Every structure is written in structure tokens, then in C-alpha cells.
A and B are shown apart, each in its own frame.
Chain A
Amino acid sequence: MHIPDGYLGPTTFIIMYIVMIPIWLYAGYWVQKNLRSRQVPYLALGAAFSFVIMMFNVPVPGGSSGHAVGSALIAIILGPWAAVVCTSVALLIQCLVFGDGGVTAFGANCFNMATVIPFTGYFIYKLIAGKSPIASNLRIAAAAIGGYFGLGIAAGVAGFEMGIQPILEHTAAGVPLYMPYGLNVTVPAMLIDHLGFFCWVEAIVTGLAFAYIAKNNPEVIFNHSEIEKNAKKEASPGGATA
């Protein structure tokens, strides 16, 4: 899902940078306000984990390949805004040091992988988990499903960004200047590759790592006290027990 230089025209890549600036700034503000210094090592670990998980390319029948991102997991453990920071750092190094993802497309790639995945993943996880206890099977399944659809939706968004290029940027004769394939090709292609293959990896990684952390050290989870309070309320609906 790392869009290289040349696939997005200036209109799209400039807009995506402009969209990302307030998101990066607010993410920094949120992390400052909500995380504690003892969580800094986890921030580093989350970013490093996201970097390495993206190196596990999965082959797809038909010759293509792709990978999980790990940012839904970071969103569930440290909060979606922290996931913006961690995944953006991983994407920056991938772009600058390894040429994975374009310099011009960095804003778009951060939007897709460091914003859409964590926020949609976290929202779906929260919706499904409801007021269930922190290490319950329902909450673990919710984390896995959040990972699955977080990556899937982001793949659709990336496909959309690429697929609108022939409409936005073409020569006077109508020849595409950047991504040559239109929406009718890019969106289904991205969705099929991801929902069919890479999203399963994202689901397994998110579910397993969440289960381990929730069972062994739930204090690491950024909103664990809120989750535990809601679960307790649910267990004693009268709320009489203090």
C-alpha cells in the first residue's frame, strides 16, 4: 500500500500533505496530554514493530504481494493518535532510507496507513467490544476484526486515491499522466488483495498481541481503567457496589 512517487499527481499529493499536517500536530498534542513517561518504551516498540511487520510480504495468486501494517494494534494499545505517531515514523524511514513509498506520496501514505487504519480499526474494535471485560474473548475477537477491516478500508482508500488520477491528471488528449488505471480497476484490486490475504495477517497479529497484553499486563492499554470501569458497571447493573 506504499504509493511510490509518480502514481499520484500534484493535486492529490499536495492535498494529502495538507490534510496530514493538522493530524500530525494533534497527534503530538494528544500523546503529550495522555501518555505517561513509562509508556515511551512502548511507543518506540510500537513503531519498530510496525516497521518490521511491513517487511513480511505475503504472496497473492496472480503475482502480486503485500503485507500487514500493525497500526490497528498500536491504536488499540496506545490509542489511535499514538498510532499516528508510531506508524508515521516507520513510514518516514521506509520512504527515506529504503525507497518504500514515495517522497511526494508520503502524506497520502501516512493518511492511509497511519490514520485510516488506526482510526477505523480502533472504532470497529470499540464498537464490537462494547463493555466487555478487558481480556474477554469478545474483546480479543473485536481487536482482530478491527485489524482486518482497518487495513481493508485503508486499502480501499488507497485504491481510490490512485484510481481518481486518470480523471484528475491527463494530457489534452486524455492520456493519464500518473496512475493509468481508473477507479473501476484500482479499488476492487486493492480490496481483493487486502481483504482476501493481508487483512487476515493483520487480524491474527492484532488479535494475538492484544490477547497477550490484555491477559498479562492490561495496565499497558491506554484506556484500561475506562474499560475495567465499564465492565464492572455492566457486571453489577445497579451500580450499588462501590
Chain B
Amino acid sequence: MDVMNAFNKLDKTFKVLVIALIVLVALVPIGLIATGTAYGEWGPDELQQAVGYVPAGLQQLNGLWTPVLPDYNFPSGGDTLPEQTPGYYASAIIGVIVVGLIAYGIGKVIIKRND
């Protein structure tokens, strides 16, 4: 109930924008329909096919970092749309909360003006 009380105290515009954000999260699987790789974001195998070799430096830096949820999916998640959807939802929810909390924390720490 604390969350609801805090929510009710916010101004109406903010509430509508929060609802809009929740709607966007609910609709997020739409983003899975586009299956093509964005320009310049190809994996080494895709480059091999396109130009016939994998540039040496690229090969070296590729895979430098191992993310927790690679490509907004569970590491065990499959490639089909139904298999990707739960991971994509989880990613959207985790991402929105973590990003929101960090930005909120930064704001809380550095903003002192109250006028």
C-alpha cells in the first residue's frame, strides 16, 4: 500500500507518464518482430559471410564482456519469438527498474535545490 500511497501523491502528468511507461513495457515484444541485425552490429559469423573474413582486431575485442542477459534474453532462451518473449519481458522490467533507480539515485545525491 505504501507504493500506492506514494503514487497517489504524485502529480497527474507524472502518473499518466508512468502508466505510458508501463504500457510500453507491456507492448515490448513488438520489438522482437524485427529480426535483422542493426547496421554495424553484426557478429563475427555475419561479417565472415559479408566480407569473407573477420578483421583481426574485431575478433580480439569481440566477446570482451559477458553480459548477464545477452541480447535481452535469458542465456538459455531460444531464438524463436515465443521463446524470446519471456526473456524480453524480464529484460524490459529489470532494465526499466535498474535504470530508473540509478537515475533517481544520481538525482537524489546531486540535486540539492528545493525551491
Contacts and interface: CB of A to CB of B under 8 A. Distances in A.
Interface of A: 1-7, 9, 28, 31-33, 35-37, 39-53, 55-60, 62-67, 85-86, 89-90, 92-100, 102-104, 158-159, 162, 169, 171, 175-181, 186, 189-190, 193, 209, 212-213, 216-217, 220
Given A47-B99, A99-B70, A179-B40, A59 B25 contact: no
Nearest to A97: B68
Interface of B: 10-14, 16-18, 20-21, 24-25, 27-28, 30-41, 44, 47, 51, 53, 55-72, 88, 91-92, 94-104, 106-108, 110-115
Given A102-B64, A103-B65, A220-B13, A51 B39 contact: no
B39 A97 contact: no
Contacts, number: 235
B70 A98 contact: yes
Given A45-B17, A65-B38, A189-B39, A104 B111 contact: no
A174 B91 CA distance: 41
Nearest to B62: A6
A98 B38 contact: no
A55 B92 contact: yes
Contacts of B34: 57-60, 65
A49 B104 contact: no
Contact of A32 (B18, B21, B111): B111
Given A41-B14, A94-B95, A99-B71, A59 B35 contact: yes
Contact of B103 (A32, A89, A209, A217): A89
A31 B111 contact: yes
A120 to B, nearest CB: 20
